[in-house]
Amino acid sequence: MKTDTGNCILIYSTVPDLLLGKRIAHVLVEEKLAACVNLSAPGLSIYQWENVIEGNEEITLTIKTTQERQQACFQKIAELHPYEVPEIIAVPITGGHTPYLYWVQQQTKI
């Protein structure tokens, strides 16, 4: 049975530390750009930047929001983020607990 996912999406982003992650999460929820933001434990990110292989600890933000709030959420993350090119990726939700997805939609209504 297919669950009605409505217009809910996940946005993933990474930040260099927990304090910044908390700040971004608080702003996104307060401004109704996200219903909820989960902050992961620090994890190691390996990537190439300006022809140098880098390895840094980062916190992953898992942001629950809707397609309608996606662009505003992207803009706010980029505004608050210290990276020149922050990771901000949207992923569609293809299934989920209907009451939870309804809650996400209600929390992000303008």
pLDDT tens column, 16-32: 999 999 999 999 999 99
**Lookup result for tokens 């109704």:** 32
Which domains does the chain possess?
A: 8-107 (3.30.70.120)
* Residues with Cβ within 8 Å of residue 42, at least 6 apart in sequence: 18, 57, 58, 59
In degrees, to the nearest 5, what angle opens at C-alpha 27 toward C-alphas 23 and 33? 140
pLDDT tens column, 46-83: 999 999 999 999 999 999 999 999 999 999 999 999 99
d(CA 55, CA 44): 7
d(CA 98, CA 78): 30
**pTM of the model as a whole:** 0.93
